[in-house]
Amino acid sequence: MTPDLTPLAIDRDLMFLDRTIGRLSYGCWRFPGTSDESVSEKIDAALSIGANLIDTAAIYGFGGAGFGEAETMLGRFISDRSSVRDEMVLVTKGGILPPLPYDSSADHLTASCEASLKRLQTDRVDVFLVHRPDNLTAHEEVAGALSALVKSGKARAVGVSNYTVEQTRALQSFLDVPLAVTQPEISAWACDALSNGMLDHAQATGSLPMAWSPLAAGALATGVKPSGGGEQRFANLISVLDRVAEENGTTRDCVALAWLLAHPAGIVPIIGTQSPDRIRSSAGAFDVTLNRQDWYAVYEASLGQKMP
């Protein structure tokens, strides 16, 4: 039988919270230690390719410039360029409080969101996420805090990051608002979300899956394997990405992003490069022509085995 070589659909944008958002997001976790001028250049570059979903977190900056520093830097940009705020769909996260490490108590989540608003110099975030699950806070208490943030107008919507499917379901059972976002790690190298039910659950509930580290912390762009084993598997994955990139006249990082964009769950990869040129070149992912054979070739290389 002749394989189906029909190109897979890759949309450039989608509707979210009654807004049009780009299928690429920009993450601010590497802002601390850079300049305010560079922040402007990076946000402008992201917006120029339609990446208007801007992701940050209270913890970004801890261990270096300081807790909350990424939000503070983004807040200065928002203050200086107030007209740009309405172009953004702003996402932040709370619940990590070193050295505990996690605290999702109602008081802390509320205080965390309020502190984020001050640092961001805005009166609301579009989405507030629980950054990581806290085993010592009941889902009912977390739900109460999230619902209150939405009712107060401090957050238009809420969601979770790094939650399992069962943790997500448990939290949702106590919420009177939907979990609008789930934010797991997803890349062509770390693709557990494709098999552990996370993306299936996102499709079933209509939540938006935002993929953190979509290029495996840059490894899929540089070709330098992350720490740990799997040398041959990684080499095979890079080989497949390079083959598709050559056929498309593009780069392997654009192919790796296109691979995520082609999934029907509507994955929004969070790109985190500090180079405005590379931010802009990420839009090349929309020009990649993938078919089912290509997509599964990448998946099989990542798994290290053929599909059954």
pLDDT in tens, 35-85: 999 999 999 999 999 999 999 999 999 888 789 999 999 999 999 998 899
pLDDT band at 6; cut points 50, 70, 90: confident
As a whole number of angstroms, the distance between CA 283 and CA 52 comes to 13
Q: What is the pLDDT of residue 227?
A: 86
What percent of the chain clears pLDDT 70, i.e. is strictly above it?
99
Per-residue three-class SS string for the chain: CCCCCCCCCCCCEEEECCEEEECCEEECCCCCCCCHHHHHHHHHHHHHCCCCEEECCCCCCCCCCCCCHHHHHHHHHHHHCHHHHCCCEEEEEECECCCCCECCCHHHHHHHHHHHHHHHCCCCEEEEEECCCCCCCCHHHHHHHHHHHHHHCCEEEEEEECCCHHHHHHHHHHCCCCEEEEECECCCCCCHHHCCCHHHHHHHHCCEEEEECCCCCCHHHHCCCCCCCCHHHHHHHHHHHHHHHHHHCCCHHHHHHHHHHCCCCCCEEEECCCCHHHHHHHHHHHHCCCCHHHHHHHHHHHHCCCCC
108 has pLDDT over 70: yes
For the chain, the residue count is 308
- Kindly report, residue by residue over 125-155, the tens digit of the pLDDT: 999 999 999 999 999 999 999 999 999 999 9
Domain borders along the chain are: 13-183
Question: Thinking of the domain 13-183, which architecture would CATH place it in?
Answer: Alpha-Beta Barrel (3.20)
pLDDT band at 2; cut points 50, 70, 90: low
- Kindly report, residue by residue over 204-262, the tens digit of the pLDDT: 999 999 999 999 999 999 999 988 889 999 999 999 999 999 999 999 999 999 999 99
Q: What is the pLDDT of residue 64?
A: 80
- Kindly report, residue by residue over 284-295, the tens digit of the pLDDT: 999 999 999 999
What is the average pLDDT score of the chain?
96
As a whole number of angstroms, the distance between CA 231 and CA 211 comes to 24
Q: Which residue numbers are catalytic?
A: 60
CA 72, 73, 74, 80 torsion-angle sign? positive
